[in-house]
Structure 1
């Protein structure tokens, strides 16, 4: 449960486990932000699904539109403002409860603090892996660009601009030297 967005999100794996074929998705190309820190997401498509809260004696069913995403899941779905509006539900983040009116009284949906904590830890783990992967990809691209520098011939060991000679072992009489760069990036 999250109240900061205008999207209901469902993960492709959840849809697969429900037995819903991805060919039923309506195409959509509008990206959104906020699910993975610093990263935009393009949904695989949208789908309308009937959602029911409550039990056999007291329930409420409405059809919700979900943006389906294909990245690793921590949750089954993320319910946002459109869900709360349709069900006239009120989330209470302090007590991890969602309450809504129904024909036979109030429906209350909740979870434990332990389960919420475990989901949050798993979500942070996924986000960390994604961000680390993107940083590694960027670093590899920079290294490849430097390696393909056309100013130097292949197999050349000439010193480059911004380098200096350093003795491998200053106390040795052999005088072996190496060239190191003086302008390396912080990465």
Structure 2
């Protein structure tokens, strides 16, 4: 975007979820004006972004703080973002093809970063237990300490739920 790094403020802490099993170390934070809508009906607010030093499939990720500030409602099924504007509802949308391409790009990028040994701004401090296919698990044991409760209090003799310290396979 051509923004001087001197404009970045120190960031609080790393965040997770960008790459599986890794944390992202931000270069800093920056406040930028964001506008949704068109010239006849628009909203403009200043949002704080965490800036990272690696290539990503997305240029910006908007989260709860953005939605709260704009009073926006995302609908992931229809790929729409709606918010109140001065002249009615502002609706932003995308296509399924674009969303699919972003997902493909993100998966390819994640695979490339995980495969590389480049330690740059991505850390590997998150602990994950590796699956052990030789580990044996015992079946749940029956217990006498089972409480039966009616599913419908108006019909106590109908079906009942069972709860206990060790439930039966039933």
TM-score range, shorter chain: 0.5 to 0.7
Tell me the distance in 1 between the aligned counterparts of 2:96 and 2:15.
28
Q: Which has the higher helix share?
A: 1
1:54 matched residue in structure 2: 37
What displacement does 1:31 show? Answer: 0.8
Written as runs of structure 1 = structure 2, the 5 A alignment for 1:3-18 is 17=1
Q: Which has the larger radius of gyration?
A: 1
* 1:89 counterpart (72, 80, 85): 72
1:121 matched residue in structure 2: 104
Tell me the distance in 1 between the aligned counterparts of 2:17 and 2:117.
16
Unaligned runs of 5+ in 1: 1-16, 136-187
Tell me the distance in 1 between the aligned counterparts of 2:58 and 2:24.
16
Q: Would you say how many aligned residue pairs link Structure 1 and Structure 2?
A: 118
Q: Taking structure 2 as the reference length, what is the TM-score of the superposition?
A: 0.67
What displacement does 1:22 show? Answer: 1.4
The yes-or-no answer on 1:70 pairing with 2:67 is no
1:27 matched residue in structure 2: 10
What displacement does 1:134 show? Answer: 4.2
Tell me the distance in 1 between the aligned counterparts of 2:46 and 2:76.
24
What displacement does 1:20 show? Answer: 1.6
RMSD: 1.3
1:43 matched residue in structure 2: 26
1:181 matched residue in structure 2: none
What displacement does 1:29 show? Answer: 4.8
CA contact (8 A) 1:49 1:63 kept: yes
What displacement does 1:130 show? Answer: 1.2
